[in-house]
Amino acid sequence: MARRRPGTLFPLELDILDVGTVLQSTEGSFYGFALAKQLAEAGDAALTAHGTLYKALSRMADAGLIEATWEDPEVAEAEGRPRRRLYRITGEGATARDREHARIAGEQAAAARPAGAAWTQGAIA
């Protein structure tokens, strides 16, 4: 596994938070298969297997970025399917998502600056 800098998210984790935010806003929560489907439709190359997704979801729940609960068994039974593990993004997860987007935007802005752009003629006295 790649090493992460403290306070940063792996690209897949950021994608989960982005897509999960959209799903959560319309459904109230989201589940792994719906998340995987949306990530695949978005062309997420980081999602190579469902196992990768579920490991990331578990890691994120352990870190407090999302919370996970089991669906009510009566709902699943009424729909004739197994229970789903439902996820919701926590306040900490939303903050981490926003912070990571700001960090990436800052890095992109710095990379787009021409070399020496921070230097000005009046800087040398």
Query: Where residue 42 falls among pLDDT bands split at 50, 70, 90?
Result: confident
- What does pTM read for this prediction? 0.81
What is the Cα–Cα distance from 5 to 99, expressed in whole angstroms? 13
Residue 118 in this model has a pLDDT that exceeds 70: no
Amino acid 115: pLDDT: 66
- List, in sequence order, every residue forming a beta bridge with 89; answer none if it has no partner: 66
pLDDT tens-digit series, residues 44-78: 656 656 789 999 999 999 999 999 999 999 999 99
**Within-domain flag for 122:** no
Average pLDDT over every residue of 69-90: 98
Domain count of the fold of the chain: 1
Q: Which domain holds residue 32?
A: 11-105
**Is 57 contained in some domain?**
yes
pLDDT at residue 72, rounded to an integer = 97
3-class secondary structure, 30: strand
Query: How does residue 6 score in pLDDT terms, banded at 50, 70 and 90?
Result: confident
Average pLDDT over every residue of 1-26: 87
Compute the distance between CA of residue 22 and CA of residue 114 in angstroms, rounded to an integer.
36
Q: What residue type is assigned to position 52 of the chain?
A: T
> Does the residue 58 lie in any domain?
yes
Q: Residue 124 pLDDT more than 90?
A: no
State the CATH number of the domain containing residue 26.
1.10.10.10
16 and 36 Cβ atoms separated by less than 8 Å: no
- Does 121 reside within a domain? no
In a domain, 116, yes or no: no
Is residue 98 in some structural domain? yes
